[in-house]
A and B are shown apart, each in its own frame.
Chain A
Amino acid sequence: MDNKARVYENIFEMMPSEENPTPLVRINRLNSQAGFPLYAKLEWMNPFGSVKDRAAWALLRDLEERGELRNGRGLVEPTSGNTGISLAAMARAHGYRLLAIVPNKVPHEKKVMLKIAGADLEIVSDELCPAPGLGDGSINLAKTHAKASAHRYVMPNQYENEKNVEVHFKTTGPEIWTQTQGRITHLFTSLGTCGTVTGVGRFLREKNPKIKIIAVQPTEGHDVPGLRNVRQLEVSKLFDPSLIDDILEVDFNLAYTRALELCQNEGLFAGPSSGLILEGALQVAARDRSGFGVMIFPDNIFKYTSNMVKHIPELQPQDAKVIIP
């Protein structure tokens, strides 16, 4: 494959690596701290549109290599959308099916995208009153399918599978180190399955133990898809608190307003989780004044138009009135 000419024999050759990294783009108008440049790593430039391409590809390859997908067996996975979209598209391109177990609160666009990508969908109602440690309805339902119908489904389990960490250790981490020529002082990321923060964090710490790993999380009761508040993190076995210097809690409404600012001031069509991360990074830049920050921007705005309108009602277009005489 030729990354320079960008000619590929199949879509999977586009998957990122140190030789073919996703772009880093500097924040200009929204960051007033000259001594603390902030760069966004645009993970929506992955072939299926989000950071989850990395984990999904690693999980799928691992299942194939271990012979878990023979005899018409498909996959089942709990997902708030992005993992499902990546995994469904990849699985279908390799001839498998994916049953995606999706919480009700996932935005409409993502549910439609999952179907377009070729997933079978099972939508579960949101947790009624979550208790610590009990896990999500979607995770439990996926586990149930994998256990009761093991001949039909295998569950990659992005919440527990070390491959989800390893892929970031092998690709995202080295990409950032090379792209910044080792100048990075702060990494800003959100928490979901924690594959990104744990994998990138481990790699960067090995290179330079002084690098600060900052997790940005929405306040409780949030509706930012894909993210978890630390109190919801017990479901992820990949969360390694020893790697994290600071967890910033940001009002989740800012996820949406900051995302809009990125679209309208930087030309970055970033989704709400990126907006949340930007807010956290701006707070730290204003506090520390000096540094070199890299923010992982997980996906772009296109899947969140209905959530954006919900949080920023002025975005609702006023359609022309049809007057019937």
Chain B
Amino acid sequence: MTEYSHPEILVETDWVKQNLGKPGIKLVEVDVDTKAYDAGHIPGAVGFNWQSQLQDQVRRDIISKQEFEKLLSDAGVSPSDSVILYGDNNNWFASYAFWLFKMYGHKDVRLMNGGRVKWLNEADKELTTERPKIAPTQYRAGEPDTSLRVLLPEVLKVQAEKRHNLVDVRSPDEFTGKVIAPPGMTETAQRGGHIPGAKSIPWSTAANADGTFKSADELRKIYLEDKGVDPKKDTIAYCRIGERSSHTWVVLKYLLGLTNVKNYDGSWTEYGSVVGAPIEK
């Protein structure tokens, strides 16, 4: 049985329980909205709202370095802290935050394996509605590491060259263009389908029924053997708005240890709306 390439980026729920309240460890719950956090969170955890706090509220982009610094200062996080992220929807939004923390160079950021659902369903784990008392910090971030992110011009170039692994993590119906977005979603594209040459590997392929990541051997078999992701090539993961693909980005880069993996956060809502962009159905 092989290990994950970077097992240090994951912590288990039991580890979190044993380390509650320890100095230097900061828990952050990241949800699509903070209703779940408000109803109950892990004692000591602060809550980030993916919609309003992790994205620029004017243009479509990640938050700026200054906004990231303010967010972390207000949350009482120091650059030397171990930040443990967890959240709803099987850690999608926590994975997006993980990617953002890595972009801005936070040294020690980890995901709680299984997210809030796993914690919720374990009888010995507590939840509270009490908000933690925060001592604000003066957090300073690095310049964003752009090697972790891919923007549209590069995606169009890569698509034409066909030298990359393109991993589409959306549902099979989104991949084939039967639907443009899951039912009820407001963010859509003008066209359905996928980037030519992309492999369909839905994000949930990487998860066990309890929300944890599958073992290194299972992941290796699924992604590298069965689906043919070539570890010698550079890889781009995309979905619809960039959060499900963050989950797969974590799998490919940190659990399987592929060397150059980028998250395309523009994803299908951008690509599927570009005039003239080649689409396969």
Using a CB–CB distance below 8 Å, which chain A residues touch chain B?
104-105, 122, 124-126, 128-129, 131-135, 137, 140-141, 143-145, 147-149, 221, 223, 234
Mask, B96-111, CB within 8 Å of A = 1, is 0000000000000000
- Complex Cα distance, B36 from A129, in Å, reads 17
Would A129 and B182 count as touching, CB distance under 8 A? yes
With A143-B120, A144-B39 as contacts: A126 and B204 at CB distance below 8 Å? no
- Complex Cα distance, B36 from A221, in Å, reads 25
Would A132 and B209 count as touching, CB distance under 8 A? yes
- Complex Cα distance, B183 from A105, in Å, reads 10
In the complex, B276 has a CB within 8 A of chain A: no
In the complex, B144 has a CB within 8 A of chain A: no
Would A145 and B39 count as touching, CB distance under 8 A? yes
With A122-B35, A140-B36, A141-B35 as contacts: A133 and B121 at CB distance below 8 Å? no
- Complex Cα distance, B39 from A122, in Å, reads 11
28 contacts between A and B (CB under 8 A): A128-B182, A129-B182, A129-B203, A129-B244, A131-B203, A131-B204, A133-B209, A133-B210, A134-B90, A134-B117, A134-B209, A135-B117, A140-B36, A140-B88, A140-B117, A141-B36, A141-B39, A143-B120, A144-B36, A144-B39, A144-B40, A144-B120, A147-B120, A147-B126, A148-B41, A149-B40, A223-B183, A234-B209
Using a CB–CB distance below 8 Å, which chain B residues touch chain A?
32-33, 35-36, 39-41, 88-90, 92, 116-117, 120-121, 126-129, 170-171, 182-185, 203-204, 207-211, 244
Would B121 and A143 count as touching, CB distance under 8 A? yes
Which A-B residue pairs are the 10 nearest by beta carbons? A148-B40, A133-B209, A148-B127, A131-B204, A144-B40, A144-B39, A147-B127, A126-B184, A148-B129, A145-B39
| A154 CB to nearest B CB, Å | 15
- Complex Cα distance, B92 from A154, in Å, reads 29
CB contact between A221 and one of B40, B183, B203, B207 (< 8 Å): that residue: B183
Total contacts A-B at CB 8 Å = 71
Would A128 and B185 count as touching, CB distance under 8 A? yes
Would B39 and A129 count as touching, CB distance under 8 A? no
- Complex Cα distance, B210 from A10, in Å, reads 45
- Complex Cα distance, B184 from A124, in Å, reads 13
- Complex Cα distance, B89 from A141, in Å, reads 12
| B91 CB to nearest A CB, Å | 11
Would A137 and B88 count as touching, CB distance under 8 A? yes
Would B32 and A148 count as touching, CB distance under 8 A? no
| B262 CB to nearest A CB, Å | 21
Would B128 and A148 count as touching, CB distance under 8 A? yes
| A214 CB to nearest B CB, Å | 28
Could you say which residues of chain A place their CB within 8 Å of the CB of B35?
A: 122, 124, 141
With A104-B184, A140-B36, A147-B40 as contacts: A132 and B204 at CB distance below 8 Å? yes
Could you say which residues of chain B place their CB within 8 Å of the CB of A137?
A: 88
- Complex Cα distance, B41 from A134, in Å, reads 18
Could you say which residues of chain A place their CB within 8 Å of the CB of B126?
A: 147
Per DSSP, chain A at the interface is: loop
- Complex Cα distance, B120 from A128, in Å, reads 19
- Complex Cα distance, B128 from A43, in Å, reads 40
Known pairs A131-B203, A133-B210, A140-B117; list 5 more (Cβ under 8 Å): A104-B184, A128-B182, A131-B90, A131-B204, A141-B36
Would B39 and A131 count as touching, CB distance under 8 A? no
- Complex Cα distance, B120 from A135, in Å, reads 12
| B117 CB to nearest A CB, Å | 6
Could you say which residues of chain B place their CB within 8 Å of the CB of A143?
A: 120-121
Name which of B40, B126, B185 has the most chain A CB atoms within 10 A of its CB: B40
Chain B residue nearest to A220 (CB atoms) is B173
- Complex Cα distance, B170 from A223, in Å, reads 21
| B162 CB to nearest A CB, Å | 28
- Complex Cα distance, B51 from A128, in Å, reads 14
Would B40 and A145 count as touching, CB distance under 8 A? yes
Would A144 and B244 count as touching, CB distance under 8 A? no
Could you say which residues of chain B place their CB within 8 Å of the CB of A145?
A: 39-40
Chain B residue nearest to A104 (CB atoms) is B184
- Complex Cα distance, B33 from A129, in Å, reads 16
Could you say which residues of chain A place their CB within 8 Å of the CB of B116?
A: 140
- Complex Cα distance, B117 from A137, in Å, reads 10
- Complex Cα distance, B90 from A135, in Å, reads 10
Could you say which residues of chain A place their CB within 8 Å of the CB of B209?
A: 132-134, 234
- Complex Cα distance, B129 from A145, in Å, reads 9
| A163 CB to nearest B CB, Å | 20
- Complex Cα distance, B33 from A144, in Å, reads 15
| A192 CB to nearest B CB, Å | 19
Could you say which residues of chain A place their CB within 8 Å of the CB of B128?
A: 148
- Complex Cα distance, B278 from A16, in Å, reads 62
- Complex Cα distance, B41 from A133, in Å, reads 21
Could you say which residues of chain A place their CB within 8 Å of the CB of B171?
A: 129
Would B32 and A125 count as touching, CB distance under 8 A? yes
Would B117 and A105 count as touching, CB distance under 8 A? no
- Complex Cα distance, B239 from A129, in Å, reads 11
- Complex Cα distance, B185 from A188, in Å, reads 34
